[in-house]
Structure 1
C-alpha cells in the first residue's frame, strides 16, 4: 500500500512503542483508515513478534508501515508542509477544539511514560483527549490515561472527520 510521503493527508507516528498488541491494534486502525504508520525506535519488541502479528490479524499487507531510527530521521523524510501534533494526556488543546490540517503527523508516546519533554518541545502543538473520569494530578480518583490504541483511534478518527476524509 506504499503511499508517497507527500500523499498522506494524515499519518500516525508511535514514539518508542513498548507493547506489541497495542502497536498491532494501531496498525489495524491505520489499515482501516488508509493512514501510514511510522514507528520510531527503539521498539520494545521485534516486528516479527507473535502478539504484534496477532493484534494486526491479517491486515498487515494493508498497512503502510515504516520504521525510523529516531524522530529526527522521520522528520527529515517528511515534506516541509507538515505539522507534528503531539498527543498527550496533559498540557494540550482539547481534541474537539483542535484545527487539524492536511499533512498532520499524529505523534503518540510510549505506553509507560508518554512523550518526553524533549519530544514535546519539537511538536508544533499538543492535543489532549478530555476525560471526565480522569485521575487527579497525583494519579488518584480516576483513569490515568487511555490505552494507546484507543487514544490513537479517537484522535485519528476525529482528525479525519474534521478534514472530511471519511
Structure 2
C-alpha cells in the first residue's frame, strides 16, 4: 500500500547540491525523497549535507538500485506518477495531483530515460519558461516549484 503523501523521486541525480536542496524541501514539507541509482556523487559528500544544511539527517530517504526495483517494490499506480521534462506536452499547472503523487525528475544533464517515459507520454509535464534564451532551469528550483503547485491543487487553491 502506498503512503498517502506526495513523494519526490530523483532518477540518477548528478549534482549533490540539487539533491541536498531537494532533501531540505522534503523535510520542510514532510515528504519522502526517493533516489534511484546510480548517482553522480556519494551521499556522504559534504556538498549534499551542506545544501541540506543540518536538515539532511531528517530527510525521509529511500534508495533503489534502478527504476525497475523502485516500480517492483512500490507498485505506484499509473495515475499517481507525474514525470517532469522540459518537453512535456502538458504544463505542471494542468493536473489535479493525487495525494499519493510520485513527482519524478530525471538527472540534470539528460533528464529521464526514454525507457521510463515510453507509454506514459500523457503523464509528462513541463514547467513553462517564457524566454527561449533559457535552455533549462535548475533541478532543485523546478522540483520545489512543482511540489508547491501540486500541494496548491490538493488544498483547493
* TM-score, structure 1 as length reference: 0.86
From the superposition, tell whether residues 59 and 165 of structure 1 become closer, same or farther in structure 2 (CA, over 3 Å): farther
Deviations 1:66-91 (A, max 9, x none): 11000111112225545221101113
1:139 paired residue number? none
Matches within 5 A, 1:21-36: 21-36=17-32
Unaligned runs of 5+ in 1: 136-141
Structure showing the higher helix proportion among its residues = 2
Larger deviation, residues 77-86 vs 35-44: 77-86
2:114 paired residue number? 117
Matches within 5 A, 1:82-161: 83-121=80-118, 123=120, 125-133=123-131, 135=132, 142-161=133-152
From the superposition, tell whether residues 45 and 33 of structure 1 become closer, same or farther in structure 2 (CA, over 3 Å): same
Q: Distance in 2 between matches of 1:13 and 1:122?
A: 19
> Is the 1:8–1:36 contact (alpha carbons within 8 Å) kept by the matching residues of 2?
no
* Secondary structure of 2:7's aligned partner: strand
> Is the 2:13–2:108 contact (alpha carbons within 8 Å) kept by the matching residues of 1?
yes
RMSD between superposed Cα atoms in Å: 1.9
Q: Distance in 1 between matches of 2:84 and 2:9?
A: 10
- The ranges of structure 1 where at least 4 consecutive aligned residues each deviate by more than 6 angstroms after the TM superposition are none
Q: Distance in 1 between matches of 2:156 and 2:51?
A: 25
From the superposition, tell whether residues 76 and 165 of structure 1 become closer, same or farther in structure 2 (CA, over 3 Å): farther
Unaligned runs of 5+ in 2: none
Matches within 5 A, 1:2-41: 6-41=2-37
Q: Distance in 1 between matches of 2:8 and 2:76?
A: 17
- Alignment: residue pair count: 155
Q: Distance in 2 between matches of 1:16 and 1:165?
A: 33
1:63 paired residue number? 59
